[in-house]
Structures are given as structure tokens and as C-alpha cells.
């Protein structure tokens, strides 16, 4: 897949970059790490190494959505980044086919992602309600 930005030094395996200060983000990243296993690396956008390693990524992107830096150097974000990072696990490869193969699904997923992203604190509260007060530690 080709993103909007290409980094000069691609990683050896895909790297997800997320907002480490966001409780909602940390909650879901822990689950994605379990789903993707060792096939994907995860880094908080606040880690100075991220910006040093990938200076081509616009700074405002780190605040707007989760990012995925692919091994070919292309950077994707939002729902696409979520889908591709999870589909790195062969057991979840069907996600990629669904995301790109079902007409309108990509558009709907991106709109849903943007809505959730704009209301992360409310969704963090829903996580605590449904998963318990220590949900972010799970």
C-alpha cells in the first residue's frame, strides 16, 4: 500500500506510532500488540526516537491519528494503519482483504476512526465502564 509520506529509512518490520499520553490509545495498543505479536513494533509518538528516526512525518500527524510505517517506507494512518497492523498476523490477514475489498468499508472505517479519535476521552470512559477500572493495564 502506498501512503502519503515515504520515510528515507524504512524499518525492518512495521512500526505503529501512537499517542502514549492517551489512555484510550494505550488501552487498544496493548490489545493490538497481542493480536499482531512480534511482527509489528509499537512506539509512543512522545518518544524522541520516533521523530529522529522518521523526520519525514509531519509533526501534526502524531496528534491526529495512529500511524503505521511500513517496511517499504510508506506511512499510512487512521483506520488503514489499524487494519494493516492487525493483518500483519496471518490469522488476521482477512482484515486487509475486507478493508480494501468491500466497497465503501474503507470510507466508513475512516469516518468512524475520526469520530472516535475526536472523542477519545469519552471512549476511554466507555472502556473503563465495559472493561473495568484497570482496563488500560490489561
4 SS3 class: coil
> pLDDT category, 134, cuts 50, 70, 90?
low
**From CA 119, how far away is CA 7, in angstroms rounded?**
29
In terms of Cβ atoms closer than 10 Å to its own Cβ (0-12, 13-18, 19+), residue 51 is middle
Model pTM score: 0.89
Cβ atoms < 10 Å from Cβ of 79: 23
* pLDDT, average across residues 26-54: 92
pLDDT digits (tens, 9 = 90+) for 111-132: 999 999 999 889 988 988 888 7
Q: In degrees, to the nearest 5, what angle opens at C-alpha 131 toward C-alphas 20 and 29?
A: 25
In terms of Cβ atoms closer than 10 Å to its own Cβ (0-12, 13-18, 19+), residue 38 is exposed
pLDDT digits (tens, 9 = 90+) for 55-86: 999 999 998 999 999 999 999 999 999 999 99
Q: Which domains does the chain have, with CATH numbers?
A: 5-133 (3.40.30)
Amino acid at each position: 500500500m502506498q501512503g502519503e509520506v515515504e520515510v528515507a529509512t524504512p524499518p525492518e518490520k512495521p512500526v505503529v506510532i501512537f499517542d502514549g499520553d492517551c489512555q484510550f490509545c494505550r488501552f487498544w495498543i496493548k490489545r493490538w500488540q497481542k493480536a499482531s505479536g512480534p511482527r509489528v513494533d509499537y512506539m509512543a509518538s512522545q518518544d524522541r526516537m520516533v521523530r529522529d528516526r522518521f523526520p519525514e512525518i509531519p509533526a501534526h500527524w502524531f496528534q491526529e491519528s495512529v500511524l503505521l510505517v511500513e517496511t517499504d517506507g510508506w506511512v499510512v494512518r487512521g483506520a488503514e494503519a489499524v487494519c494493516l497492523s492487525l493483518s500483519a498476523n496471518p490469522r488476521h490477514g482477512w482484515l486487509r482483504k475486507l478493508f480494501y475489498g468491500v466497497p465503501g468499508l474503507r470510507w466508513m472505517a475512516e469516518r468512524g476512526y475520526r469520530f472516535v479519535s475526536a472523542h477519545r476521552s469519552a471512549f476511554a470512559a466507555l472502556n473503563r465502564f465495559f472493561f473495568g477500572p484497570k482496563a488500560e493495564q490489561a
